Structure 1
Amino acid sequence: MLFIVLLAMVAGFLALRLYSVLGKRTGHEQPLPKPAEERVAMPQPQRPVDQPADLREPAQRLMEPQAERGMRAIIDADARFDAAQFLTGARSAYSMILDAYWKGDRETLTWLVEDDVREGFDAAIADREAAGHVLDNRVVAIENAVITDARVESGVAEITVRFDADIAAVTRDKEGNVVAGSLSDAVQTHDIWTFSRRLRSDDPNWKLSETDEA
């Protein structure tokens, strides 16, 4: 599905901004980087010395107990990592990736998801296009996002997040007629997404590496 140049530029800017935010500490006082700068891995400040490494308090707000050990391992391997910032970015990623999938925006998906996930999305998009269907979906609200698992294996960090969201979904045909769904009635969804990143890589960005339903 092709978009006009302006929309493609806007989508590209937003995707690259999101692509660099997962797990990175940022300050509200910092100006937004220019688009060209967003392709470069920016240096990240270290955890403040007065911030304890203990995860008991964040675990109450951000994660389930079984994820605590894995989160400790990730922080031990990367002192720049911040769980709260990661979860904020994961919420944005959830909406952005779904929006790209619904619109058939393969280019944005390439930036944000690993190859295996992208191939699955691409196949579903191709089937939809072959049927002449267009999705008119939107995320109404993300009611909850919590880290359910985390691990470091062979130098790769993986963090699993459960999203509980309300989504309005409509499928239309080529003429714009509604085939299924309704924009007035949001559907509750429960998705489990895993994001991954190679810790020793100079690239600080995370990508969606696995999807499932709760």
Structure 2
Amino acid sequence: MLLFGCEFVDMYNLLQRYIKCSKDASMNIPESITIVDFVILIITLFLGYQIYRALGMRTGTEKKRHGFSPRDVSPSHQESAKAQDENEVREELTQIDDPKLALKLEKIIKADPSFHINQFLQGVKNAFELILKRFLEGDKAALKPLLSPQMYNQFSALIDQREKKKQTADLAFFRMVNAEIVEAECQRKTVRMRVLITSEQTLLIKEGDNKVVDGDPDYIDTVTDTWTFERKIDSGSSIWILKEIADVSE
């Protein structure tokens, strides 16, 4: 602030000399310019400069922002990313205990490089909970794009049956325990994955005035199912459709 004050005095003295010279040259400069006018001028210019900086006006000398597009990636970076991806795939395959299943999955990965085992299993867990909740809510519209036509008809019939009895379903407790691939196949660009899913649930069926007619609110049931998902590699869609459900709970 002290520096600004010194510069201000120097500029004011310079302006006064300019006015004096201008009057001597008979220029039409007002004689009423005072130090107050000059202060207002300097403050206006200073504020204008600060606003200019705050708005980030481009002058052509700014540094390029971080980030890149695929065109900016050098071949060496592309090769590095590919190598890292291949390492992740190999690591995922080593987690498969069944050698025959691992070989099938490796063939599927070659046919569909976008497939990753861990990502698929996380998607299965999400889909399992989503489908279960939508079924219990009776939301057929949300279920339809996630199920095969046969599975949709089965779900729809069960929902209709529940509504006919004027019953509601309440998932009082849910916890996903595990999901693992137990079978895999690829035929004519169609990939099928059978997944063993274990979850803990407290499912209550109610009717009338919230009267529980099936299920125990104090009991957590361990449920084990196999869900078979299907996807066409050349469909352009990343959605896996639920094809079949089998109960293997003891």
- TM-score, normalised to structure 1, is 0.72
Residue 152 of structure 1 is matched in structure 2 by: 186
The superposition leaves residues 41-80 of structure 1 with CA deviations (integer Å, 9 ceiling, x where unpaired) of: xxxxxx7323336966424546754422221122111111
Residue 111 of structure 2 is matched in structure 1 by: 77
CA distance in 2, matches of 1:63, 1:200: 29
Residue 133 of structure 2 is matched in structure 1 by: 99
Residue 199 of structure 1 is matched in structure 2 by: 233
The superposition leaves residues 171-193 of structure 1 with CA deviations (integer Å, 9 ceiling, x where unpaired) of: 10032111121233110100100
Asked if structure 1 preserves the Cα contact closer than 8 Å seen for 2:96 and 2:102, the reply is: no
Segment of structure 1 superposing worse, 133-142 or 183-192: 133-142
Asked if structure 1 preserves the Cα contact closer than 8 Å seen for 2:182 and 2:194, the reply is: yes
Asked if structure 2 preserves the Cα contact closer than 8 Å seen for 1:140 and 1:167, the reply is: yes
The superposition leaves residues 140-191 of structure 1 with CA deviations (integer Å, 9 ceiling, x where unpaired) of: 2111110111110122001111111101111100321111212331101001
Structure with the greater alpha carbon radius of gyration: 2
CA distance in 1, matches of 2:193, 2:243: 10
SS of 2:218's partner is: strand
SS of 1:136's partner is: strand
Number of residue equivalences: 168
The superposition leaves residues 6-32 of structure 1 with CA deviations (integer Å, 9 ceiling, x where unpaired) of: xxxxxxxxxxxxxxxxxxxxxxxxxxx
CA distance 1:74–1:53, shift in 2 (3 Å): farther
SS of 2:115's partner is: coil
SS of 1:166's partner is: strand
Shift of 1:129: 1.1
SS of 2:217's partner is: strand
**Pair 1:67-2:101 in alignment:** yes
CA distance in 2, matches of 1:189, 1:65: 27
Map 1:87-166; keep pairs closer than 5 Å.
Answer: 87-138=121-172, 140-166=174-200
Gaps of at least 5 residues in structure 2 are: 1-80
Segment of structure 1 superposing worse, 66-75 or 56-65: 56-65
Q: Percent identity?
A: 25
Higher helix share: 2
Shift of 1:115: 1.0
Higher relative contact order (CA 8 A, sep 6+): 1
Aligned-CA RMSD value: 2.0
CA distance in 1, matches of 2:195, 2:98: 10
- TM-score, normalised to structure 2, is 0.62
**1:144 alignment partner AA:** N
CA distance in 1, matches of 2:167, 2:195: 30
CA distance in 2, matches of 1:63, 1:207: 26
CA distance 1:202–1:51, shift in 2 (3 Å): closer
